[in-house]
Chain A
Amino acid sequence: MSESKMVSLTIEGRAVSVPAGTTILEAAKAAGVLVPHYCYHPGLPVAGVCRMCLVEVEKLPKLAPSCATAVGDGQVVHVYSEKALEARKGVLELLLINHPLDCPICDQAGECELQDYTFQEGRADSRYREPKRFNPVEDFGGDVLYVTNRCILCTRCVRFMDDVHEAPVLCVSERGDRAVISKAADADLTQPWAANVIDLCPVGALVSKDFLNKARAWELDRTASVCPGCSQGCNTVLETRDNVVMRMKPRPNDAVNQFYLCDVGRLDYHWMNRPDRLESPKIRLADVLSPVDWEIALGQAAEALRGRRAYVVASPQLSNEALFLLKRLIGATGGEGAFRCATGPEAPLPGVDDLALRADRAPNARGAELLGFTRRDGDLLAGLKSGDVLVVVGDALDGVDLRRAADAAAVIVVGTVLPVGLPTPVAVLPIANVAEEEGTFTNLRGRVQRFLQAKAAPGLARPSWYALADLATAAGAPSDDCALPSRAFAALAAAEPAFSGMSYDALGLRGAVVAGAEVAR
């Protein structure tokens, strides 16, 4: 096969050169021109049905659907010419004639492409004088509600389920203006990746039950993050309002999750808002935990660690930075570290290469392994020696056999909640969760990805890297080179060959793969 020939054309006055076979719409993107569209989506097969993307191509007799037309050498394309604008205005008017005036009650408002393009290019009024079509709302199962009246029949949802999910449980039913999206009685949208249709829907026809009526899109702050649900490391956006995570949506990353997020991960953010948190450092006074300030708690912890080995039980939900600082702590005390990782059935998204809800249900098991922690899914405390200080970091220890903990000389807890069943810790240090701090995770393919802080931690809780830098210092491993998460990461990159050369700037928001990782993509 010969190399792809390049084609040169002009779009809205901008010269652009793209491989032969590229569609005019994609070529326009390369030229920095957005052609308004609905049914087209780069992750889905082309349908060419909404007719929004019609552009004027000089010398062609008819307007061309730019999502379905390959570029031609020397073409001159107009996206904002009078003809193209008239055509789009016509489409918008027609989409609105039966569209209910739901904006005041529709969750999509503020992030609705029908609103956006109508405001930009549509008519200011409606000429429609006839009764509007009415259909009842349908529960499609899973997290998905179908508000039939709002549907513009772009068929993105059907194409996603057919081609990307390979589970054809949606169809277009009926004909003409009676057409609706439908499903059979024998299957629901409970497939592992089905809720992505909500993101794909350009309007408020497919909405999330979880998010229904909870917040307005414009009230939300958006922060780039990484899903903590499994080791795939799907890139996400945490959307918060008044310091509460309201929803989690996928963030596109071609190398990891393309455009998608699985339903398990998508809906598993509520715990980020749980109110029953450790908010204050505590120390044991007369066998009772009493709130104190950080200095005192750290002092107690240092005292307990003096001359003893630290056996660190870390959580694979901790960031690379936090685990690195624990490694320093372990090193300074001659101790060791272990972690356990919950597992569940793997659920691939068939239409995307190497994308699945992974068996390991934590974001940083790989990071923990790379940083020297031993995976002990069976007996987590197996390495605890008598006289060690048991340092529990981030793991709530539910379901763990804690009998061996009695052998420990002392227990220090660093976390968001207090594990049940432990001997009273000498010190408790409250930390932030993944939504409340900055850091990185390493996914199962060795990709190191940044997540940013979306909300404030409660009370006196501190970022994990901050608290653990202090703890490491208290244990004899000075860590004042870690006064910022970026510096903690720099220290990590300097010390660990796998992370050599990495930095926050270099990682950006797409991530990079550790040295020696297998080339999976």
Chain B
Amino acid sequence: MGYPHKSHPQETPVLSKHFGDPAARTLEGWKARGGYTALAQALTMAPTAIQDVVKASGLRGRGGAGFPTGLKWSFMKLDDGKPHYLCCNADESEPGTFKDREIMRWTPHALIEGVAIGAYAIGAETAYIYIRGEFSEPIRVMEAALAEARAAGVIGPNAMGSGKRIDIWVHKGAGAYICGEETALMNSIEGKRGNPRIKPPFPAVSGLFGQPTTINNVETLAAVPHILNNGAEWYKGMCLSSPKSTGSKLFSVCGNVARPGNYEVVLGFSFKDFLYDLCGGPPAGRKFKAIIPGGSSVPVITIEEAEQVRMDYEGFLEVGTMLGSGGVIIFDDAQSMPRQLARLARFYAHESCAQCTQCREGTAWMTRILERIVAGQGTFEDLDTIFDLAESMTGKTICVLSDSCAAPVVSGIKRFRGEFEALITGRRSSTVAVGV
């Protein structure tokens, strides 16, 4: 549910502690809540020391890839004499995910502090927060907070009197999910079409404007001040299952569920408890049927599979899906899986940047087949075609948008084949295709 609301007793509010509290938005308000002590401390440390703390904490990228953050920061060569950049990925366009928006509009200074520490830790004097164009309220709040921070000298040419320059700018996107891909994000900042780049070269070698760059998600950076304040051991200790998944995570819950909203739990939390206790279970008179737990780009699982899962990176892998961005999309037994997946495929078709053949044509074709099946004009061969198509669309492109289209569709057909077959066998007219 929308904030302000009290956290559920089983939540562990670290990042979400001050969600819903308008006083936390101001610089003074943030400082009163312990803000900027971590930055002050960080500016007295060597960048590598900060990297070590973050490494030891086990913090992993919260945008979806789950790459160890401290390790990522260590890829930046601190003595290369080149300008370094930190990009904060606030593009949050993964369907089902809406956590970064809350961080920005309720605790903007938390993000500023995390960005500043991150920039300093990688030897960057300039950081850009790439916020998707639709997020007008977060943009307003962030700009106001940045203005405060600059005016108070917290950031700027002499951050907190340290003699170090830390400039942070908001860069507004304009409607492209693909700009959440780190190399497309950099191209977008550079004023280009948001096309992902071929890697290598990797951003830490040649990134924004051709210079060494690190890209981190909002939630990842917002966790950093807490890690510095409370120590790596504290963060590492927040772990309920796999030791490789530490800390707390904001899970965005949406779809057919009694209490949609953001929930912050320690990684390894029981998914069953999460779904039924924290989120209130299914809507009245309904049963949970299917869940896409990591934002829409991961395989769909059945509720039976979901009830077995410990909510961390390894736990979701065990049932054949992924934690991803932690955007939990729930479908109940009243939903038509073919219809939902057709609409999902359409999302990817709409967002494809058009570079790679398999993605540009494959996402659109997959969508058209699914829509035709939903319209009652499908055949069994169509399902085989979709599986073949998914093969083409996986592991063969510059970025993983096409893989992300294929994953939920293929897993959805495999787990809910009956629903597809019912539409196919129940078709009302001839085999002549009808365009959608």
Q: Does a CB–CB distance below 8 Å link A and B in the complex?
A: yes
| Residue ranges of A at the interface with B (Cβ–Cβ < 8 Å) | 46-52, 54, 61-63, 65, 68, 86-87, 90-91, 93-95, 97-98, 127-131, 152-153, 172, 174-179
A-B contact pairs, 10 of them (CB 8 A): A62-B396, A65-B198, A94-B362, A94-B365, A95-B357, A129-B433, A130-B372, A175-B176, A176-B351, A178-B354
Give A98 to B357 CA distance when docked, in angstroms. Answer: 12
A131 contacts across to B, CB distance below 8 A: 433, 435
Q: Is the pair B360, A153 in contact by a Cβ cutoff of 8 Å?
A: yes
A98 to B, closest residue via Cβ: B361
Q: Is the pair B357, A51 in contact by a Cβ cutoff of 8 Å?
A: yes
- Give which listed residue, B176, B357, B362, B369, contacts A130 with CB less than 8 A: B369
Q: Is B358 an interface residue (CB 8 A)?
A: yes
B381 contacts across to A, CB distance below 8 A: 127
Given known pairs A129-B433, A131-B435, the reply for A49 and B372 (CB within 8 Å) is no
Q: Is the pair A48, B398 in contact by a Cβ cutoff of 8 Å?
A: yes
B389 contacts across to A, CB distance below 8 A: 90
Q: Is the pair A50, B357 in contact by a Cβ cutoff of 8 Å?
A: yes
Q: Is the pair B433, A179 in contact by a Cβ cutoff of 8 Å?
A: no
Instruction: Name the residue among A49, A127, A129 with the largest chain B CB count within 10 angstroms.
Output: A129
Q: Is the pair B361, A94 in contact by a Cβ cutoff of 8 Å?
A: yes
Q: Is B298 an interface residue (CB 8 A)?
A: no
- Give which listed residue, A46, A50, A65, A177, contacts B364 with CB less than 8 A: A177
B361 contacts across to A, CB distance below 8 A: 94-95, 97-98, 177
A129 contacts across to B, CB distance below 8 A: 369, 372, 433
Rounded to whole Å, the gap between the CB of B242 and the closest CB of chain A is 23
Report the 4 A-B pairs with minimum CB-CB distance, sorted nearest first: A90-B392, A179-B354, A131-B435, A177-B364
Give A178 to B364 CA distance when docked, in angstroms. Answer: 10
Rounded to whole Å, the gap between the CB of A178 and the closest CB of chain B is 8
A89 to B, closest residue via Cβ: B392
Q: Is the pair B392, A176 in contact by a Cβ cutoff of 8 Å?
A: no
A177 contacts across to B, CB distance below 8 A: 349, 352, 354, 360-361, 363-364
B359 to A, closest residue via Cβ: A176
Q: Is B150 an interface residue (CB 8 A)?
A: no
Rounded to whole Å, the gap between the CB of B341 and the closest CB of chain A is 17
B355 to A, closest residue via Cβ: A49
B388 contacts across to A, CB distance below 8 A: 90
Rounded to whole Å, the gap between the CB of A498 and the closest CB of chain B is 47
A93 to B, closest residue via Cβ: B392
Q: Is the pair B354, A54 in contact by a Cβ cutoff of 8 Å?
A: no
Give A130 to B385 CA distance when docked, in angstroms. Answer: 13
Q: Is B93 an interface residue (CB 8 A)?
A: no
Contact code string B337-360 (vs A, CB < 8 Å = 1, else 0): 000000000000111111111101
B436 contacts across to A, CB distance below 8 A: 130
Given known pairs A94-B362, A95-B361, A176-B360, the reply for A87 and B353 (CB within 8 Å) is no
B361 to A, closest residue via Cβ: A94
Given known pairs A174-B354, A176-B351, the reply for A68 and B198 (CB within 8 Å) is yes
- Give which listed residue, A86, A172, A175, contacts B352 with CB less than 8 A: A175
B418 contacts across to A, CB distance below 8 A: none
B435 contacts across to A, CB distance below 8 A: 130-131
Q: Is B397 an interface residue (CB 8 A)?
A: yes
Give A128 to B365 CA distance when docked, in angstroms. Answer: 8
Q: Is the pair B358, A127 in contact by a Cβ cutoff of 8 Å?
A: no
Q: Is B193 an interface residue (CB 8 A)?
A: yes
Given known pairs A130-B433, A176-B350, the reply for A94 and B398 (CB within 8 Å) is no
Give A52 to B358 CA distance when docked, in angstroms. Answer: 10
A97-B365, A127-B381 known; 9 new pairs, CB 8 Å cut-off, are: A86-B391, A87-B396, A90-B391, A172-B354, A175-B354, A176-B364, A177-B349, A177-B361, A179-B360
Give A177 to B353 CA distance when docked, in angstroms. Answer: 9
Given known pairs A129-B372, A130-B372, A131-B435, the reply for A51 and B354 (CB within 8 Å) is no
Rounded to whole Å, the gap between the CB of B327 and the closest CB of chain A is 22
Q: Is B18 an interface residue (CB 8 A)?
A: no
B372 contacts across to A, CB distance below 8 A: 129-130
Given known pairs A94-B358, A97-B361, A129-B372, the reply for A175 and B392 (CB within 8 Å) is no
Q: Is B244 an interface residue (CB 8 A)?
A: no
Given known pairs A90-B391, A91-B392, A130-B365, the reply for A175 and B353 (CB within 8 Å) is yes
B364 contacts across to A, CB distance below 8 A: 176-177
B371 to A, closest residue via Cβ: A130
Rounded to whole Å, the gap between the CB of B94 and the closest CB of chain A is 17
A91 contacts across to B, CB distance below 8 A: 357-358, 392
Give A130 to B358 CA distance when docked, in angstroms. Answer: 17
B385 contacts across to A, CB distance below 8 A: 127
Q: Is B320 an interface residue (CB 8 A)?
A: no
Give A88 to B396 CA distance when docked, in angstroms. Answer: 10
Q: Is the pair B351, A51 in contact by a Cβ cutoff of 8 Å?
A: no
Q: Is B395 an interface residue (CB 8 A)?
A: yes
Give A86 to B393 CA distance when docked, in angstroms. Answer: 12
B433 to A, closest residue via Cβ: A129
A97 contacts across to B, CB distance below 8 A: 361, 365
Q: Is the pair B398, A54 in contact by a Cβ cutoff of 8 Å?
A: no
Rounded to whole Å, the gap between the CB of A159 and the closest CB of chain B is 12
A51 contacts across to B, CB distance below 8 A: 356-358, 396-397
Q: Is B171 an interface residue (CB 8 A)?
A: no
Rounded to whole Å, the gap between the CB of B20 and the closest CB of chain A is 37
Give A54 to B397 CA distance when docked, in angstroms. Answer: 10
Q: Is B368 an interface residue (CB 8 A)?
A: yes
Rounded to whole Å, the gap between the CB of A298 and the closest CB of chain B is 65
Give A131 to B367 CA distance when docked, in angstroms. Answer: 13
Rounded to whole Å, the gap between the CB of A128 and the closest CB of chain B is 7
Q: Is the pair A87, B352 in contact by a Cβ cutoff of 8 Å?
A: no
Contact code string B232-249 (vs A, CB < 8 Å = 1, else 0): 000000000000000000
Rounded to whole Å, the gap between the CB of A435 and the closest CB of chain B is 40
Given known pairs A48-B198, A91-B392, A129-B433, the reply for A176 and B365 (CB within 8 Å) is no
